[in-house]
Amino acid sequence: MSRRVFITGYGVISAIGRNAAENYQSLIQKKSGFGRLDVLTTVHRDTIFACEVKQTDHNLCDMAGVSISEGYTRTALLALIALREAIGSASLTENDVSDCGFISATTAGGIRELETHYDDLQNPQKTGDFLAYLDTADPGEHTERLADLFQMRRYIGTVSTACSSSTNAIMLGARLIANRVVDRIICGGSEALSKVTINGFNTLMILDKGHCRPFDENRNGLNLGEGAAYLVLESDEILKQSRRSGIAELRGYANVNDAFHQTASSPDGAGAYTAMEQALAMSGLGVADIDYINAHGTGTGNNDLAEGLAIKTLFGHQPPPFSSTKPYTGHTTSAAGGVEAVFCMMALQHDTLFPNLNFMEPMKEVGIKPVTEVRQQAGLKNILSNSFGFGGGATTLLFSKCL
C-alpha cells in the first residue's frame, strides 16, 4: 500500500528575505526584490534589472557557517542556508538528518564561478588541467557537497528539468516515500544569477526591462531572480512515530510533457491542463475543493496565456483565487518550484493569499483576474502549485492543510 506524504518543515532564501520569516513579511507587505544588480558583475547591470539576493558570497558564507576558503559556489551557499533552516524548522536531529534522503535541483549549478575563468579557458597560451575548471559547473556538485556535509547517505539525487526542476525534485521525493525507498527526504533546489542565465534569456527576448506583470494584457516578459528553498517530506508512519505534526499533506502530483516546442508551452495550455487534472485525480479531490492556485505565471506572452487558458478550461469562468508570486522573487528558474512550494506552506499556515503584483488588465483571450491584494482568513485547505519548464515539462503539486 502506498504511504502518505507530509511536509514537516521548510527553509527559503530569496531576493525578498534571508529566511522564511523575512519572506513572509515581504509577501504580506507587497515588498518586491526587483531592482538593479548590485552583486553580480555584468555589462547589463544598468539595463536589465532582476531580483537579486543582496548578499556577497562572503556574507553568504557567514550566514551558512562556512569559510570562503572552502570554495562553495553561490548556488551551494544559497542551498546550504535554506537547507539549514528547513532542518531546524522540522526539528530534525543530527541522526534524523543523516538518515534523510536529499534531492536538490539546479540548472546552471556553478556556472557563475566558471564564468570567471572564461578568458583563461579561451587563452591558448594558458596551460593546466582544463577539467579542474569544470568541477563546480557540474549541476550535481552542490547536491553531493551538501549531502557530504550533513552525512546524508540514504538517497542522493540532482534534478535538472529547467524551470520545473524543484517541483520535480519534490515529486520524486514523494514517490520515493510512497514506495518505501525512504522514510524522510529533503527536496527543493537552488539557483544563482549568472551572466549565462541573463544573456541566455535576453537572447530569447523574453525579459521585461521593467517590473514583470504576470497575467496582464500588457505583460512584456519575465524578471530573473535567484534563491533556494527546501521542504522536509516525511511518511505518515515516521511522523506518527515521532509524535510531531505535519504542516500539509502532499496529496497529489503530476508531471507531463506537451512536446510542443523547445522553449514555449503549447498555446492551448494542454500541458498545464493535464498536469493539474492528473494531480487532482490522484488526490481524489474535485475542482470545487481547490482554494488557491500558485501559478507559474512568468509574465511572458506565451506562458501566461497557456496557463490562463488551462485554468479557465479546468475550473470554468470563475476559477479559484490564483496569483503568481514571481514579481516578488523574480523567476528563480530551477529553484522556483521550491520557493513557491514554501510560499504555499506559508499560505496554509497563515491562511493568507499573496497578491499578483502589477496586474492591471485581464488578458483578452481569457478574461480571468488574479488576486491583487493580500487576503487573510482566506479559508485555505487545498492549494495547487504549478511549474513549467523549457522542453514542454509541466508539473503540478497539490497540498492539503493538516487539520
Specify whether 317 is catalytic.
no
Q: Degrees (nearest 5) of the Cα angle 128, 130, 135?
A: 125
CB 363 within 8 A of CB 217: yes
AA identity, residue 176: L
CA distance 249 to 348: 11
Q: Degrees (nearest 5) of the Cα angle 308, 194, 168?
A: 45
Residue 167, C-alpha cell as written in the block: 517541483
Q: Which helix (H) or strand (E) holds 23?
A: helix 20-28
Q: Which helix (H) or strand (E) holds 227?
A: strand 227-235
End-to-end alpha carbon distance in the chain? 23
Catalytic residue among 61, 100, 163, 344: 163
Q: 111 phi and psi, to 5 degrees?
A: -60, -30
CB 138 within 8 A of CB 110: yes
Specify whether 51 is catalytic.
no
Sequence-separated (6 or more) residues with CB below 8 Å from residue 264: 302
CA distance 264 to 267: 8
CB 186 within 8 A of CB 197: no
CB 171 within 8 A of CB 219: no
Ranges of H-type helices in 209-359:
236-242, 270-283, 301-315, 326-329, 336-350
Q: Which residues of 168-179 are buried (b: 16+ CB within 10 A; e: fewer)?
A: bbbbbbbebbbe
CB 293 within 8 A of CB 307: no
CB 366 within 8 A of CB 312: yes
Catalytic residue among 142, 187, 331, 344: 331
Specify whether 296 is catalytic.
yes
User: Which positions are catalytic?
Assistant: 163, 296, 331
